[in-house]
């Protein structure tokens, strides 16, 4: 007789322990003394992984290999034996230990998940600031990007031959060589899908792995048991043609919105890896005198990379920052993420004397406890900062613009700067005090529209509406055209093997949306797409001012907002009074205002009305 099915209820607090581990006690970490770390050695992998953990002092110069991998939000589910006790680790840690036994049997390893007591908050607070020393002193770093994949193996085997062919061409990109990888513009040869599959691995998009890749004197990439040459991979990915083909393939085959290059997994993976390689190369070039990178430089380069824990957007790069940060920032995971970001920006202000982080602020990205003048590091800015355009990471990257709206480069102010206090931050009430003056006021706005869209007519209508604001300035037709072109491109030039004038950039856009090939994205001209995704007007509000100018601002800009110049800052900024007559303001974001981007406003009469602004 068939027995009735019995439903059981899983007790969440109960953790199953296999019978062979039942007699073992959970592993208990010994306390570490000052300057000590733990190292592990894999003794055996069958029938279970068994390791030995030892406490060593870094000053004794132990020989060890650091292991980099991606947590991927996994919970500890695999049991390993540690000094005859049991310890739960994640699936990825279990796999990388198994791999290391096969490839580096007998070596000592350092891996954060095992060598730091993850339940001991005080120990993490001490060990995290030691990351610089831990990774810099290892004999090599091994980055395990995930398990074996036949398609990736095929791509890895082909990499040396591909690079050799590409280097044989005097110019870049070597189009005919790279074209071997593709059946058509949007179709990757099945034999080489491994390149895309490799770059979609989460390791390439996580911020914590950056210091693990940058700091070791030697680094290796592992995919399962396959060695991926990090330098060859960088050479291939730093080719814009290769980049665009891979991303185009992903857009068509993985449901990405047409034109949404910044949103693709491969885009983020390529950018992340290229930035890691650039930081590593910079550190190597500087040599023994390297003492760490600037906080804002790192934030700007790595804004795309993600973190499972919001704290790690700061703590995850602590090892590659200047000593000032490791001395003044305590790795405390108990504080709110918003308060951590506020404290980090306040520390930067104290060190640099000016709030250069204002150009990173994306006010729409709110976070509990975060004031309007701080950016939410958990979400990358979209659109890119006017000061720090990301480009593609390849030879087509936009150059950094030379804005200096509040900066005097060569010369003296006609009107001497009044005596006002320098920028300061009160972390208790999260108020940023900064000096400057109100230059103008927003009059009319055209909210962000469809710069890249399947319906190109709507793109053209939106841009025509922006043009109508420009025409209201009362200038001659030629001056209106030039002003409008400058504004939608934020006065920027586009680099395409040569410097192209702004009118070419605008003309290409205008031609595309007016006479484009309809809704068939596969036929869209490649250069036009590349330019469109870097257009500063994308995702921004186009506005006119009471004083007769036009400009670009964040999507939150509204009529009546104040346009300010802050001393020593590169762009104008838009702020909004909390209420009528209030001396406290919300920070709306950076702005491009035609005619004042190079210090012209500092010579105006309004510069005499300098005051302090309290941003909340």
pLDDT bracket for residue 1 (50, 70, 90): very low
- The C-alpha atoms of residue 209 and residue 279 are separated, in whole angstroms, by 13
Its pTM stands at 0.83
Q: Are strands 611-615 and 584-590 parallel, antiparallel or unpaired?
A: parallel
602: DSSP letter: G
Query: Residue 401 in 3-state DSSP?
Result: coil
User: Residue 451's pLDDT is what?
Assistant: 64
Beta-carbon count within 10 A of 589 CB: 29
Nearest to 51 by CA among 86, 83, 15, 28: 83
User: Residue 566's pLDDT is what?
Assistant: 95
pLDDT bracket for residue 600 (50, 70, 90): very high
| Residue with token string 């390893």 | 109
- The C-alpha atoms of residue 502 and residue 504 are separated, in whole angstroms, by 5
450 contacts: CB under 8 Å, gap ≥ 6: 458, 459, 462
282 contacts: CB under 8 Å, gap ≥ 6: 293
pLDDT bracket for residue 216 (50, 70, 90): very high
Is residue 455 scored above 60 in pLDDT? Answer: no
Quick one: how far is CA 540 from the chain centroid? 20
Looking at every residue in the chain, the average pLDDT score rounds to: 82
- The C-alpha atoms of residue 431 and residue 567 are separated, in whole angstroms, by 18
Q: Are 304 and 271 in contact (CB under 8 A)?
A: yes
Alpha-helical runs (H) found in 287-429: 295-301, 312-315, 323-328, 337-352
Q: Are 512 and 456 in contact (CB under 8 A)?
A: yes
pLDDT bracket for residue 478 (50, 70, 90): confident
Q: Are 255 and 187 in contact (CB under 8 A)?
A: no
User: Residue 340's pLDDT is what?
Assistant: 94
Q: Which residues pair with 445 in a beta bridge?
A: 543
Q: Are 444 and 471 in contact (CB under 8 A)?
A: no
pLDDT bracket for residue 116 (50, 70, 90): very high
At 364-408, the pLDDT tens digits run 667 888 999 998 898 877 777 887 665 433 323 344 567 899 987
pLDDT bracket for residue 411 (50, 70, 90): low
- The C-alpha atoms of residue 177 and residue 422 are separated, in whole angstroms, by 56
pLDDT bracket for residue 147 (50, 70, 90): very high
What would the mean pLDDT of 490-508 be, rounded to a whole number? 53
- The C-alpha atoms of residue 135 and residue 208 are separated, in whole angstroms, by 13
What would the mean pLDDT of 578-605 be, rounded to a whole number? 93
At 166-211, the pLDDT tens digits run 777 655 545 556 666 555 544 556 666 788 889 889 999 999 999 9
Beta-carbon count within 10 A of 195 CB: 27
Alpha-helical runs (H) found in 422-497: 456-471, 477-488
């Amino acid at each position: 007789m068939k027995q009735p099915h019995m439903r059981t209820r899983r007790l969440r607090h109960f953790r199953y322990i296999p019978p062979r581990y039942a007699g073992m006690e959970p592993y208990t970490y010994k306390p570490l003394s000052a300057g000590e770390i733990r190292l592990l050695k894999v003794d055996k992998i069958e029938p279970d992984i068994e390791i030995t953990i030892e406490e060593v002092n870094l000053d004794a110069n132990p020989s060890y290999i650091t292991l980099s991998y991606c947590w991927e939000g996994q919970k500890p589910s695999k049991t390993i034996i540690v000094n005859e006790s049991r310890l739960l680790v994640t699936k990825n840690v279990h796999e990388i230990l198994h791999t290391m036994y096969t490839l580096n049997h007998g070596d000592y390893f350092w891996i954060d998940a095992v060598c730091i007591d993850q339940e001991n908050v005080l120990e993490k607070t001490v060990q995290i600031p030691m990351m610089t020393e831990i990774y810099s002193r290892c004999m090599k770093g091994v980055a395990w990007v995930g398990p074996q994949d036949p398609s990736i193996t095929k791509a890895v085997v082909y990499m040396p031959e591909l690079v050799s062919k590409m280097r044989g061409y005097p110019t870049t990109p070597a189009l005919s060589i790279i074209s071997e990888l593709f059946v058509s513009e949007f179709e990757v040869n099945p034999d080489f899908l491994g390149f895309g599959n490799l770059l979609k691995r989460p390791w390439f998009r996580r911020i914590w792995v950056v210091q693990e890749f940058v700091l070791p004197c030697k680094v290796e990439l592992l995919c399962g048991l396959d060695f991926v040459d990090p330098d060859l991979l960088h050479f291939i990915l730093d080719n814009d043609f290769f980049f665009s083909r891979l991303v185009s393939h992903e857009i068509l085959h993985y449901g990405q919105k047409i034109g949404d290059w910044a949103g693709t997994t491969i885009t983020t993976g390529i950018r992340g890896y290229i930035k890691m390689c650039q930081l590593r190369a910079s550190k190597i070039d500087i040599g023994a005198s390297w003492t760490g990178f600037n906080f804002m430089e790192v934030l700007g380069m790595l804004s795309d990379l993600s973190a499972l824990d919001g704290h790690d957007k700061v703590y995850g790069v602590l090892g590659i920052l200047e000593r000032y940060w490791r001395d003044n920032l305590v790795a405390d995971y108990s504080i709110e993420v918003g308060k951590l970001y506020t404290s980090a920006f306040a520390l930067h202000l104290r060190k640099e004397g000016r709030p250069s982080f204002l150009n990173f602020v994306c006010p729409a990205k709110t976070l509990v406890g975060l004031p309007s003048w701080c950016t939410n590091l958990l979400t990358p800015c979209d659109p890119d900062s006017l000061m720090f355009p990301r480009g593609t990471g390849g030879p087509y990257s936009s150059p950094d613009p030379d804005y200096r709206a509040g900066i005097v480069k060569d010369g003296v102010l006609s009107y001497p700067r009044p005596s006002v206090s320098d920028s300061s931050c009160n972390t208790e009430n999260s108020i940023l005090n900064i000096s400057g003056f109100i230059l103008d006021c927003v009059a009319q706005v055209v909210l962000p529209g469809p710069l890249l869209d399947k319906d190109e007519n709507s793109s053209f209508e939106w841009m025509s509406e922006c043009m109508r604001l420009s025409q209201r300035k009362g200038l001659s037709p030629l001056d209106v055209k030039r002003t409008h072109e400058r504004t939608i491109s934020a006065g920027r030039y586009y680099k395409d093997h040569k410097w192209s004038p702004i009118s070419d950039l605008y003309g290409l856009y205008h031609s595309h949306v007016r006479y484009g090939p309809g809704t068939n994205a596969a036929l869209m001209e490649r250069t036009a797409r590349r330019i469109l995704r870097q257009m500063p007007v994308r995702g921004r509000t186009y506005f006119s001012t009471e004083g007769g100018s036009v400009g670009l601002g964040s999507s939150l800009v509204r009529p009546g907002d104040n346009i300010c110049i802050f001393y020593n800052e590169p762009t104008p900024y838009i702020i909004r009074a909390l209420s009528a007559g209030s001396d406290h303001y919300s920070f709306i974001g950076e702005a491009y205002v035609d005619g004042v981007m190079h210090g012209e406003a500092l010579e105006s009469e309004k510069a005499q009305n300098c005051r302090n602004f309290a941003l909340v």
